[in-house]
Amino acid sequence: MRSIFAIAAATIAMTFSTCIAQPLLEPELRLNIFPNNPPRVALTFDACSGKTDERILQTLIDNKISATIFVTARWIKRNPQAIVELKANADLFEIENHGAKHVPVIDFPIKVFGLEAAGSPEAVRAEIEGGAKAIEAAFGIKPKWFRGATGLYSASAEKTIAEMDYKLAGYSVHGDGGASFSTRRTASTFGAAKNGDVIIAHINQPSKPAGAGVVEGILKLKANGFVFVKLQDAFERPTPQINICNRCADSAH
């Protein structure tokens, strides 16, 4: 079924600190809800760098659960075996663009959650193009969705993403807190997801306890009758709600 999009007016949290030049934006994305259909969520996983969490990947494959995986060029280079597995299950996995070097897609100099941002419009474009090139080389497909490192953007970088014809992949649930949550907290966060949520978690941290919670949480959603959709099947032209990020004020330097 083709859906239309949850469109919501932007709500602005005015508690944002003035310590950085421009506010950073955190797009929120939700699926449309069809009351007579089974509840549905979109599982989205970031493969930022590092390795592959086979606990999560094998759970998805074994249970035939669809997901959208955002990969960087850096991760692609280091995980040839996982790429074979993803390609062997192409019906389950949508592969999308998480950038080249995993730098926040913000076009002025700033540090966010410990990561130096791209820092200029040219570097923003290079981050997006570099991710796409690596995906085309490894998977033979052209990504349509983009999510930058940290999920935070400057307003002008968001414009660039749209100009480059990408849909911006927000989310509505921080499933694993950047892989920092405990197993229990991750499982309960997944388990508390509501109809229409877009959950973000990480598939590149096999040594963290959060991954076990992701597995538990996915299986709980499945047992509760949730349907799992890929972003490509849920949206034609999403209009994410854009929230100003309050958390980033703490990390901005």
Query: Interaction with Zn ion in 113-172: which residues (CB under 5 A)?
Result: 149
Which is closer to Zn ion, CB of 46 or CB of 53? 46
Q: How many residues bind Zn ion (CB under 5 A)?
A: 3
48 binds Zn ion (CB under 5 A): yes
- Closest approach, Cβ 204 to Zn ion, in A, equals 8
Q: 36: which residues sit within 8 A by CB, 6+ positions away?
A: none
**CA angle, residues 59, 179, 134, in degrees to nearest 5:** 75
- Closest approach, Cβ 147 to Zn ion, in A, equals 8
- Closest approach, Cβ 100 to Zn ion, in A, equals 12
40-59: b (≥16 Cβ within 10 Å) or e: bbbbbbbbbbbbbbeebbeb
- Closest approach, Cβ 102 to Zn ion, in A, equals 6
Q: Give the HSE-up count for residue 188: Cα atoms under 13 Å, Cβ half-sphere.
A: 5
**Are the C-beta atoms of 167 and 238 separated by less than 8 Å?**
yes
Which is closer to Zn ion, CB of 48 or CB of 118? 48
Among the listed residues 26, 46, 94, 107, the single contact to Zn ion using CB under 5 A? 46
Which is closer to Zn ion, CB of 46 or CB of 158? 46
What does the DSSP assignment read for 59-119? HHHHTT--EEEEE-HHHHHH-HHHHHHHHHTTTTEEEEE--SS-----SS--EETTEE---
Contact stretch for Zn ion (CB under 5 A) within 3-11, 35-43, 48-56, 234-242:
48-56
In whole angstroms, how large is the CA radius of gyration of the chain? Answer: 17
Contact stretch for Zn ion (CB under 5 A) within 43-51, 86-94, 116-124, 178-186:
43-51
- Closest approach, Cβ 11 to Zn ion, in A, equals 25
Which is closer to Zn ion, CB of 32 or CB of 129? 129
- Closest approach, Cβ 148 to Zn ion, in A, equals 8
Which is closer to Zn ion, CB of 23 or CB of 104? 104
Question: Which residue in the shown chain puts its C-beta closest to Zn ion?
Answer: 48
DSSP state of 10: -
Contact stretch for Zn ion (CB under 5 A) within 5-13, 44-52, 59-67, 236-244:
44-52
47 binds Zn ion (CB under 5 A): no
Q: 58: which residues sit within 8 A by CB, 6+ positions away?
A: none
User: DSSP H helical segments within 113-209, as ranges?
Assistant: 121-139, 155-163, 183-191
Which is closer to Zn ion, CB of 44 or CB of 172? 44
Nearest to 154 by CA among 25, 241, 246, 245: 25
Nearest to 54 by CA among 86, 94, 22: 86
Could you list the residues that contact Zn ion (CB under 5 A)?
A: 46, 48, 149
